[in-house]
Structure formats: C-alpha cells, structure tokens
Amino acid sequence: MKIALLGGTGDIGQGLALRWAYDTDHEVIVGSRDPEKAREMADEYEVELSSRGVDRSINGFANEMAADRADVVVLAVPAYHVRDTVEAVADRLDDVDVLVTPAVGMDRDEDGFHYKPPGVGSVTQLVAEAAPDDVPVVGAFHNLAADRLADLGIELDLDTLLVADDADAKETVRLLADGIVGLRPLDAGGLANAAEVESLTPLLINLAMNNEGMHDVGVTFE
C-alpha cells in the first residue's frame, strides 16, 4: 500500500515512517506543509534505514500531493491542527481508502498532562466530522511513544488500540499495524470509544515523567 504521513516530518510521523519502511514493503510518503522540508526528512529517513542495511526509497511532498498519491493517509499533526489539515487535503482524498488519526488533545499544568478532548468527544471523532463522507476514519497509534518507534534498534513489544465504525477500514489499519514487528493491534470498538483510548496517552506521559526507567512507556494487555 501507499501510506502518506501528513506532518511526517514530526515525531510520530518519523517513528511510523521508519518502522513501516524497515519492517514492510509498503511505500512510505512523507508529507509536510513545506515540500522542501518533506524531501529533507525523507532523505534523513533513507539515510537512517541505509545505516541499518535497508535501502528504501522514501519520497517527500507537500501534504496535498502526498495525500493525492496515497491509499492510506495518516494525520501525524498536532491535535489542534487536524481539522485544518483535513480541510487542506480534502479534495485529494477521493481515492483514499482510510484516514488514520493518532492525535490526542492534551494540556499541561504543574501536575502534568491532562486529557483535553474537543467538544465532539475525541480528536478521532473530530477527524471523522471533518473528513469527506466517503472517507472512513480509524483512530490508531495514540499510545505509542514516538522515540521508541524511531529507534530501530529497540525491539517493540507493544499494543496499539484501533477504533473505527467502518470494518473494512479498521481491517486495513489492523494489517498495517500488524506489519510493524512487535506491535499488536487490538480492536477497541467504534469511534464512540476513541476518548477512552486517547485518554491513556497523558497517563502514559505522566508515568514516564514521574518514574525512572519509564521513558517512552507503552501498553500491552494480557
């Protein structure tokens, strides 16, 4: 499949791009608001992969062009910009099978991070509201630490929770997640359950901040 990571120049975009390029044959496309930045980061990812013996071609484009070329589009942008980003590429999503969102709304005070969902209930539901009607939305990858993904020397042993109303779209993302070695996708239900999944993320960050050795903590369910 062709996977475009909009905002693929950032932390979670880098982690997912590297893992998909390292572990699978999917074509990885880096998107950015700035096409030059997208190309530079794509080159950096190629260098990192090459240093580990994997020669892959990764292309970088403006977000619109990246979305245009993809089967699956991942919105790897800050939660407060998912709506703008979807709107900016909406007319390029005709042939896109799935829009994936890992975004979590949070704020921070002296006690740590707190879940701050938008009025519609969750960022995933906000994306579903902003997306064209015929483009299914899947929430995934919310609870993964980007640094742990981006370090290809680390063996993952993590779960990622999927929420979606469209069974085919959820299956597509399940297979994409399953392709990442050491990542187990689990079905967490429909889009209405997204808040429960997203709200784990500030908990994980607070655990990482307050406990030695828990940097980049993730979840597995037994």
Among 1, 2, 10, 186, the residue binding ligand NAP under the rule CB under 6 A is 10
The residue number whose beta carbon is nearest to ligand NAP equals 10
The DSSP secondary structure of 198-217, one letter per residue, reads HTHHHHHHHHHHHSTT-TT-
How far, CA to CA in Å, does 110 sit from each of 31, 93, 107, 114, 206? 34, 41, 11, 11, 11
Q: Measured between alpha carbons, how far is 61 from 165 in angstroms, rounded to an integer?
A: 30
CB-wise, 135 or 205, nearer to ligand NAP?
205
Q: Is 11 in the site for ligand NAP (CB under 6 A)?
A: yes
| Residue 18 within binding range of ligand NAP, rule CB under 6 A | no
Interaction between residue 92 and ligand NAP (CB under 6 A): no
Selected binder of ligand NAP within 3, 99, 145, 191 (CB under 6 A): 145
Residue 32 lies near ligand NAP (rule: CB under 6 A): yes
**H or E segment to which residue 75 belongs:** strand 72-75
Min dist CB 3 to ligand NAP, Å, is 15
Q: Is 184 exposed, middle or buried (0-12, 13-18, 19+ CB in 10 A)?
A: middle
Distance between CA 196 and CA 73 in Å, rounded? Answer: 23
Q: Is 13 in the site for ligand NAP (CB under 6 A)?
A: yes
Q: Is 77 in the site for ligand NAP (CB under 6 A)?
A: yes
The count of chain residues that interact with ligand NAP, using the rule CB under 6 A, is 25
Distance CA 127, CA 191 (A): 10
Cβ closest to ligand NAP, residue 84 vs residue 95: 84
Residue linked to tokens 């990482």? 208
Rounded to an integer, what distance in angstroms lies between the CA atom of residue 152 and that of residue 30? 18
Q: Are 92 and 66 in contact (CB under 8 A)?
A: no
Given 100, 146, 162, 191, the residue binding ligand NAP (CB under 6 A) = 146
Binding mask 94-133 for ligand NAP (x = CB under 6 A): --------xxx-----------------------------
Residue 52 or 215 with smaller CB distance to ligand NAP: 215
Q: Which residues form the interface with ligand NAP (CB under 6 A)?
A: 7, 9-13, 32-34, 37, 76-79, 81, 84-85, 102-104, 141-142, 144-146
